[in-house]
Chains A and B, each alone.
Chain A
Amino acid sequence: MSTFQLEVLTHERTVILTDVEYVGLPGKNGRFGVLKGHIPIMAALKLGILEFGSYRGKRRKIALSGGFAQMQGNKLVVMANTAELAEEIDVLRAQRAKERAERRLSEKKDDLDFARAQTALRKAILRLEIADGE
């Protein structure tokens, strides 16, 4: 299968820049896939997993904290607040973050704190899930 370029960026670094056959993205309204020749698209993403690699074979995963994706020409650019390759995830840290978030959720504070803790928990669970697959 023919390939296109995928670039995943955070403000601090380029997480990955590589040629891929397929990218699976966590769109706001559900997952969708991108192949070479996709029409120009700008998509809002939610917290979730970005998969990339070959169409049928092996794929790698990135934990994405929302953000957006832009396909233009033969290049897909994904920009996010945080993005971590599965093999980079620190399982212990994620575990601790999960516990912390759970603890905060069990204490009852005002709404904003609650929403933040919920996001933190979702992020931690996502990171653990991805790291587990490695």
Chain B
Amino acid sequence: MAQSGREIKRRIASITSTQQITRAMEMIAATKLRQAQEQVFSTRPYFQRLKTSLSAVLSAAEKGGEDLAENVRPRRGPRYCLLVITSDRGLAGGYNVRILRQAEIFLKENPATDMVIVGRKARDYFRSRNQTFLAEFVNLGDDPTLRQGQQIGQVIYDFYLHGLFDRISILSAKFINSITHPVELRTVLPLAERQKERPEESGLEPLFLYEPSINAVLAAILPLYINAAVFQSLVEAKASEFGARMTAMRSATDNAGELIEELNLTYHRARQAVITKEIAEIVGGADALKA
């Protein structure tokens, strides 16, 4: 503890100001989390309903032995489109790293994958590894808009229609609560696999009239469904990001607090040592005078 009192004081001041920043960031993240969380819960039912409608149409087509048009027919090929969603900014603990690690694993397992990237973190990561991707979307801001979801969805759907890939998956954080947001691989297309596990429960399903045709209805639902899947994932990813940032900033604030406490202790010890020494000197001096 050879540090001088002044030096320790300076460190305490610097850590205190860092702590103020992390505390402010924690509070900002907490506020934004609240908004994002509401959005997550209010948007989930719509996506679920679209999914139900789409699988109803697909299973009706299958049962009716419908000859579906090339572009809307469920595909079984091995080529993937992987939409990777990360954040633009860091300071969110392991949030982005976990997603990127999963992405690497996915790429290794499925070599025929084209990526679409959301977020600066993923873009910079893959760029520095000379990994190519189909499209990138960065600087989406703090609250995802329907419009952004539709733009990204539109791009993916266009590629899909042009036959660039057979399957669409989304890799992003799924929001459960502010501390739990596991990385989830969401399969957007093909849908049908789950359908087959659930055998003829029907008879309850009404026979729909498809207007003008089952192909046209599928062509109307598919883009809506893809947009919805993208938007839903954006919303969940954003809420998870704020959750992760809030947690990361809280522990940073706590750590700063501990550090400050320790330094305070050291500071006071040093100060006391100085006083004790001075007293000893004075006493020593007085004794010397007396003698």
With an 8 Å Cβ cutoff, the count of chain B residues facing the other chain is 29
* Distance A40 CA – B211 CA, assembled complex (angstroms): 11
A29 touching B212 by the CB < 8 A rule? Answer: yes
Do A40 and B149 form a contact, CB below 8 Å, given A11-B231, A67-B220, A79-B224? Answer: no
Q: For residue B158, which residues in chain A have a CB less than 8 angstroms away from its CB?
A: 112
Identify the stretch in B6-14, B43-51, B110-118, B192-200 within 8 Å (CB) of chain A at 4 or more residues.
B43-51
Indicate with 1 or 0, residue by residue over B140-170, a CB within 8 angstroms of chain A CB atoms. Answer: 0000001001100000001000000000000
Please, which residues of chain A bring their CB within 8 A of the CB of B49?
Answer: 9, 77, 79
* Contact pick for B220, options A11, A40, A45, A112, CB 8 Å: A45
Which of A9, A11, A82, A112 has most chain B Cβ within 10 Å? A11
Q: Which of A13, A67, A68 has the most CB of B within 10 A?
A: A68
Report A-chain residues with C-beta under 8 Å of the C-beta of B46.
9-11, 79
A81 to B150, CA, bound (A): 8
Asked if B289 CB lies within 8 Å of chain A CBs, one says no
Which residue of A is nearest B46, CB measured? Answer: A11
| Interface mask (A13-55 → B, CB under 8 Å = 1, otherwise 0) | 1000000000000011100100000011111110000000000
Say yes or no for B106: interface residue by CB 8 A criterion: no
Set A9, A28, A40, A77: member contacting B209, Cβ < 8 A = A40
A11–B149 Cα distance when bound, in Å, is 10
Residues of B within 8 A of A42 (CB): 53, 57, 208-211, 217
Partner among B53, B146, B211 whose Cβ is within 8 Å of the Cβ of A11: B146
| A70 CB-CB contact with B under 8 Å | yes
Given contacts A27-B212, A28-B216, contact A11 B221 (CB under 8 A): no
Tell me if B227 is interfacial: C-beta within 8 Å of chain A. Answer: yes
User: Does A80 interact with chain B (Cβ within 8 Å)?
Assistant: yes
The winner among B146, B150, B217, B221 for most chain A CB atoms within 10 A is B217
Q: How far is the CA of A60 from the CA of B212 in the complex (A)?
A: 25
Distance of A122 Cα from B146 Cα, bound (Å): 20
Asked if A12 is an interface residue, CB under 8 A from chain B, the answer is yes
**A39, B146: Cβ atoms closer than 8 Å:** no
Contact A40 B210 (CB under 8 A): no
> With A11-B227, A42-B53, A77-B49 given, is the CB distance from A68 to B209 under 8 Å?
no
Residue in A10, A13, A40, A81 whose CB lies within 8 Å of B208: A40
Q: How far is the CA of A77 from the CA of B50 in the complex (A)?
A: 11
B43 and A12: CB pair below 8 A?
yes
Q: Which residues of B contact A12 (CB under 8 A)?
A: 42-43, 146
Supposing A10-B146, A11-B46, A79-B46 touch, asked if A67 and B210 sit within 8 A by C-beta, the answer is no
Judge whether B206 and A11 touch: CB under 8 Å: no
Bound Cα distance from A27 to B210, whole angstroms? 11
Residues of A within 8 A of B (CB): 9-13, 27-29, 32, 39-45, 66-68, 70, 72, 77, 79-82, 112
A-B contact pairs, 21 of them (CB 8 A): A9-B49, A10-B146, A11-B46, A11-B146, A11-B228, A12-B146, A27-B212, A39-B209, A41-B210, A41-B211, A42-B210, A44-B211, A67-B220, A68-B220, A68-B224, A72-B208, A79-B46, A79-B50, A79-B53, A81-B227, A112-B158
- Top 5 A-B pairs, shortest CB-CB distance: A44-B220, A43-B211, A40-B206, A44-B216, A29-B212
Residues of B within 8 A of A (CB): 42-43, 46-47, 49-50, 53, 57, 146, 149-150, 158, 206-212, 216-217, 219-221, 224, 227-228, 231-232
